[in-house]
Chain A
Amino acid sequence: MQEPTPTQISTSVFRKPKARLAWIGQIFLGILAVLVLYIIIHNLFTNPVLFTQIVISGLQLGFVYAMIALGYTMVYGIVKLINFAHGDVFMVGAFTSFYAVTRFNLHQWPALVFSGISPTLSVLVGSLSVILLAMIICMIMAVTIERVAYKPLRDAPRIAALITAIGVSFFLEFFGALYFVYSPRFIPYERPFGVIAWYIKNGVHLITPGKEPPANSITFSNILIIIVVASLLVQLALQFLVQRTKIGIAMRAAAFDKPTARLMGINVDQIISFTFAIGAAFAGLGGVLYAIAYNEIWTQLGILPGLKAFVAAVLGGIGSLPGALVGALIMGQAEALTAGYISTPMRDAVAFSILIIVLLVRPTGIFGEPEKEKA
C-alpha cells in the first residue's frame, strides 16, 4: 500500500484509476453464476419433463412481462420517469375485461347480432373486441394521468414526479378497492373463451376435458400460444412504429434531446402523450391476457408484475425495445425456476437481486448503449 505520489494523482484525473482487488467481486459473481448453472443443469438432467414444464410457465410469464416492459422502457426513454402507475394501468386493463365479460357479456355480441355466425368466429371477434375495449380504456386513462399529474411537473425535480407517480398508483389501487367501485378481495375471472390444452408425449395430443393427461407429459394450452403470438406481434408492430414511421422518428428525437426536437417543429407534449397511450394500450392487452391466464384478479394485481417488468426493462437496457423482450423473458425464467426449484416466496427476492446485480455489473443493461454525458 504505497501512498500515491503527486504526479500519480495528477495523471489519474485523466486516466481511469486501475481497478484493484477486482478479483474478489469477480469470484463472487463467478460463484453465483456457477450456483445458478448448477441448479439449472442439475434439474434439467434429473427431471427433463418437469424442467420443460417450468420453462414453459416461465415463457408465459415472460411474454406478459414483455408487454408491460415496453411501456416502461418507452416512457423512461422519453421523460426519464419511472411510471409507477403503469402497473396499475395493467390492472385496469384486466378489470375492464372482467366487467366487459361478466357484467355486459361483450364477448357474446357477434352471436347475438348475427344469428347464423359460426361459434369459432363469434368467440374470436368477441374476445378481440373485449381486448380492444380494454386497450382503449387504458389509453384514455394513461393520457389523462399524464395530462393531470405528470405534465405540470415536467420541469420539477425528477423525484417530485416520481412521488406523484406513486400517488397516482396508490389512488388507482385503493380507489378500486372501495366497496362501491369493487372490493379489496380476489375475484375469480371468467374467461371469454374456453381453454384448450395439449400434452406432448410421443407427439402432440389434445387433452379431452375431464381426463387427466398421462404422467410425464408436457402440457400447454391455447393461452400460452395466444400470449406468445400477441407479445411478438406487439413487439414487431412497435418496432415498425418506432423505426419506420414519422411519429416514431419524432419519438426517438424527443427521447434524444427534447429542446432540439421542439426546435425541429416536433410537438413534444403530444409525442409524450402518444408514448404514454401506446405503452398503456400494450399494458392493457397484457392485463387482459394475464387475467385470462391466471384467472384471478384483485386491485393490487399490477404492483409486482409492474415492478418486475420495470426490472426486465432495466435488464434489457432501458430505452431499447428488443431489450425489453429479452429482459422480460429472462425475468420470467428466473421467476419460474426460482418458484419451481428454490422456494416460491423467494421469487421476488431473486427479481430484485437481478436488478441490483445488473445495475452494478452493466448499468446500461444488455442492449443499452453507453450513456452519453449530457449537460
Chain B
Amino acid sequence: MQIGFLVYSIVKIVAILAYIYGLLWVLAHTSKWVKIFGVIILFGIIQLALSLHFGEFRILNDFDSGLLFQACAMTMVALGLNLIYGFNGQFSLGQYGFYGIGAYTAADITWRWTNGDPSGLLVVGLGVILAGLLIGFVKRKLDRIRGVPVLSAFTLYLLLSIVAGAVAIGISHFISPLIAPFLKTSSGPTALASGFTLQIVFFLSVLLAGGFSALVAFLFGLPVLTLGSDYFGIATLGFTIVVNTLMVNSDTILPFPEMRGGRGMIGISKLTTWFWAFFFMMLVIIVMRNLIRSSTGRTVMSVREDETAAKAMGIDVAGTKLMAFVVGSLFAGIGGGIYAHFIGFLSPGTFDFLVGFNPLIIVVFGGPGSMTGTIAASFVWMFFLEGMLRVLLGQLGTDAPTWRYVLYPLSLLLLMLIRPQGLLGSVEWGFLKPKVQKLREKTSGEAAILPKQS
C-alpha cells in the first residue's frame, strides 16, 4: 500500500507541476483566443476531475481536493511574501498574521450575513473604503511637505482610520436594522442569505478581507519599515504573535463572541468552490506579474539591490517598501478569505507564529525573486510534505507532525548551505518570463536583467 501511495503521490505532484506549466504557457500565448479558451479548458479539467466519479472511484478525492484548495490559498500568501521579501528584500515574518486577519475578517462577514446581520459587510466595506480615501487624500498632501517624521504621519493615519471606522460603525448602526429583516425572518434565513447573493457577498468579503489586511499593513508597515532589515523581521514576528494572541482572546478582549476565542470559529459557510479558488489565484498571479514586469516592479527590485543607489536615482525608497508590503499583505488577506471559506473552521492554532514560517520556507525553497518557484513550491509543498510525507510518517508513529517540523528546518539549513538562491533559482516559466532579452549572463546566481532600451 505504501509503495502504491508513494507512486500515486509522485504522479500527482508531476501532474500538478505539468498543470502549472501548461497554465503559464497558455497565458503567455500571443493569441487572445488561445489564452481565453486555454484558461477555461484548464479550469474545466480540474472541475471535471472534482465532480466526476465512477462508482466509488474519484479522480480527485476529498483529501486531494483539500490539498488543492489549500495550495491555492498558500500560493497567494507565498506570492505576497515573495513580493515583500523576494522582490523588495524586506525580511517579513508577519505574513501569517495578515493571512489570519484576512481569514477571520472574511469569515466574520459571511457568518454575520448568513445569520441575518449585514453589519459585518457594511462596517468593513465602508470602513476600508473610507479609510482608504481619507488616507489617500491626506497622504497626497503630506507627501508634498518635506521632513514629516514617521511618527507624526503614523499618528495622523491612525486617527483617520479610527475616524473612518467610527463613521462606518455609525452608518451601519442605522442601516443594518433596515436590511436585516430581508436576510432573516422568523421562519429562517431568506433567499438573500443564500444562493447567488451569498456568492456575491462572499466575493466582496474576500476582497474586503484583502483590503482590511492591506489597511492594517499600511498602518503597521509605515513605522516599522523604517527599521533595519532584521529589526523589521523581529517586529513582524511580534505582529504575528500579537495577532494570534488577539485571536485567542477574540471573545474577551475583542468584541466578537462569534469567533469563540481559542475554541475556534465554527459555522462558516463552505463557499469556496474551485471556481473561486482558481479565479482569485489567477487574479493574484496576473496582478503580481504585471506589477513586477512594470516600471513599479523595477523600482521594487532596485530597492532590494541597493537602497542608496535607488535613492540616488530619485526613487522613493520608503514609499516603495510600503507599497510592496501593503500589496503583499493584500494578497495574504485574499488567500485567508479563500482558506476560511474552504475549511469552514478557524482556530487560532492555524495562524500560530510557528506555522507562520511556512510561507517563508516556501519562498526560500522556490527561490526568492522567482514567481514560478513560489507557485510551484506552494503546490509541491502541499502535495509532497502535507500530503505524502504526513501520511507516510503517520503510519510510522504518533508524532508525525513533529517529525515534519524536524525535517523542515534541516532541509532549510541544507538549502541555505548548498543552494541559497532556492531550488529553481531565477527560472521563470511562460507567462512569468520577462519579455526583455537577457543582456548579461547570470552573475552569481542572480539573473541580471536589464530593461529593453526604448
Contact = CB atoms under 8 A, between A and B. Distances in A.
Interface stretch (A25-33, A43-51, A111-119, A256-264): A25-33
B146 A17 contact: yes
Interface stretch (A34-42, A157-165, A214-222, A224-232): A157-165
A18 interface: yes
A206 to B, nearest CB: 39
A92 B234 CA distance: 22
Interface in B206-239: 223-224, 226-227, 229-231, 233-235, 237-239
Contacts of A68: none
Contact of B149 (A21, A153, A160): A21
A307 B233 CA distance: 11
Interface stretch (A52-60, A102-110, A120-128, A350-358): A350-358
Interface string A144-188: 000001001100111110111011111101110111000010000
A28 B413 contact: no
Interface in B410-438: 410, 412-413, 416-417, 420
B91 interface: yes
A157 B233 CA distance: 15
A345 B249 contact: yes
A309 to B, nearest CB: 12
B413 A149 contact: yes
Nearest to A22: B149
Nearest to A31: B155
A304 B91 CA distance: 20
A66 B405 CA distance: 30
Contact of B413 (A164, A184, A345): A164
Nearest to A25: B151
A372 B144 CA distance: 31
**Secondary structure type dominating chain B contacts:** helix
A349 interface: yes
Contacts of B141: 1
A349 B405 contact: no
B229 A158 contact: yes
Given A4-B146, A19-B149, A348-B242, A174 B155 contact: no
B364 A170 contact: no
B408 interface: yes
B402 interface: yes
A374 interface: no
Given A17-B147, A82-B234, A149-B413, A178 B402 contact: yes
Contact of B231 (A159, A173, A359): A359
Contacts of A29: 151
A118 B429 CA distance: 76
B360 A163 contact: yes
Nearest to A350: B242
B241 interface: yes
Contact of B233 (A23, A27, A82): A82
Contacts of A346: 245, 253
A314 B245 CA distance: 23
Contacts of A363: 227
B238 A345 contact: no
A25 B249 contact: no
B145 interface: yes
A337 B145 CA distance: 40
A252 to B, nearest CB: 22
A27 B144 CA distance: 22
A333 B46 CA distance: 57
B253 A20 contact: no
B317 to A, nearest CB: 15
Contacts of B252: 343
A237 interface: no
B379 to A, nearest CB: 22
Interface residues of B, number: 56
Interface string B388-416: 00000000011100110110111011001
A173 B408 CA distance: 12
A300 to B, nearest CB: 8
Contacts of A20: 145-148
Given A18-B147, A162-B91, A352 B416 contact: no
A12 B234 CA distance: 33
A168 B146 contact: no
Interface string A5-27: 00000001000011111111111
A238 to B, nearest CB: 23
B147 A160 contact: no
A331 to B, nearest CB: 13
A346 B249 CA distance: 10
Nearest to A166: B357
A15 to B, nearest CB: 11
B242 A352 contact: yes
Contact of B145 (A1, A149, A166): A1
Contacts of B91: 159, 162
Contacts of A349: 242, 245-246
A204 to B, nearest CB: 38
B150 A360 contact: yes
Given A149-B413, A156-B420, A360 B229 contact: no
Nearest to B420: A160
Given A164-B413, A352-B239, A356-B235, A25 B145 contact: no
Contacts of B224: 356
Interface in B245-259: 245-246, 248-249, 252-253
A21 B147 CA distance: 8
Nearest to B148: A21
Contact of A170 (B145, B246, B357): B357
B328 to A, nearest CB: 16
B230 A345 contact: no
A310 interface: yes
A241 interface: no
B147 A307 contact: no
6 contacts: A162-B91, A167-B410, A171-B406, A307-B238, A351-B238, A352-B241
Given A160-B416, A179-B399, 8 more contacts: A17-B146, A20-B148, A82-B230, A163-B412, A164-B416, A167-B408, A167-B416, A178-B399
